Amino acid sequence: MSDSKFAYFEGKIVPFGDAKISIAAHGLNYGTAAFAGIRGYWNDDLKKLFLFRPKDHYKRFLSAAKILAMELPHTPDTLTALTIELLQKENFGTDVYVRPLCYKADPGIGVRLHDLRDEVSIFAIPFGHYGKNEDSAHVTISSWRRIDDNVIPARGKISGAYANSALIKTDAIRAGFDEALVLDQNGHVSEGTAMNVFIVRDGELITPPVYENILEGITRKTIIELAREELGIKVTERSVDRTEAMLSDELFLTGTAAQVETVTRIDYRIVGTGAMGPITAKLKHLFNEVVHGRVPKYSHWNIEV
């Protein structure tokens, strides 16, 4: 993290090393915090950085804060402005990943959400690719289950819930896989560890619906819109069984960090032809063009720093 020189912390931008919380902080002890993850793409021709859909990320961030009974004096616009100010000071000149966090800041013992001070922090780091094997990932089906809306709401990026994602990811990696698909309590395919999932069957794009304990991904939303509007592909939001995933023609994962990650094997079974399929390839290309601000129709998603 030594690449970050500054952070937004307790109401102002400070040197990164000064942004420190107590070991007694509520959010650290109880996971009573929520975060976001936003990418900025460096345009080398224009020598400018563009954030991808920051206001949508901050809208979801504030929804998670609301679930955690936080009262924050922020809007998606004020948080985007703060992020821009921070990135201007950092002046990385490369692709970046921005990590906003809202957390219960008071120290002390006592699990609850009320009567605690809420704070927001933001830092950024230079960032490249996330998945090691993003064009031919081998995934397993995790033996862990996805958190449920009535356990810890999955539609917010609530920090405590990421212990679930961490269990899934580490067991998958230690077993030799790149990533894992995780089933919800009903046994339907929900997501990856920090990505939404899409399958292609007979030319149709299918993804689990928002009421099946998924994170309502910004990349997911982007891919659905691009598939419908630009490629004229039918997109259906419905439950996906594990064997349907295994038997799909194409399968890919989407997320801010992962972008579009092609899965070519599930538990030693080949998905489709075993290589990136044509629909995935088209969407991946289009997504890449859009996030880099090369498609004027979608340039309202690229916010200049």
Question: Known catalytic residue: 157?
Answer: yes
- How near is the Cβ of 115 to ligand PMP at its closest, in Å? 29
Residue 181 binding ligand PMP, by CB under 6 A: no
Q: Which is nearer to ligand PMP, 37 or 272 (CB)?
A: 37
Q: Which of 104, 157, 169, 284 is the catalytic position?
A: 157
**Region of 16-24, 83-91, 239-247, 249-257 interacting with ligand PMP (CB under 6 A):** 249-257
**Region of 11-19, 95-103, 109-117, 194-202 interacting with ligand PMP (CB under 6 A):** 194-202
* Locus of tokens 């990505």: 195
205-244: contacts with ligand PMP (CB under 6 A): 215, 217-220
Q: Which is nearer to ligand PMP, 57 or 74 (CB)?
A: 57
Considering only 31, 37, 156, 208, the residue that binds ligand PMP (CB under 6 A) is 37
Residue 196 binding ligand PMP, by CB under 6 A: yes
φ/ψ (deg, to 5) at 120: -125, 135
Which residues contribute to the site for ligand PMP (CB under 6 A)? 37, 157, 165, 191, 194-196, 215, 217-220, 254-256
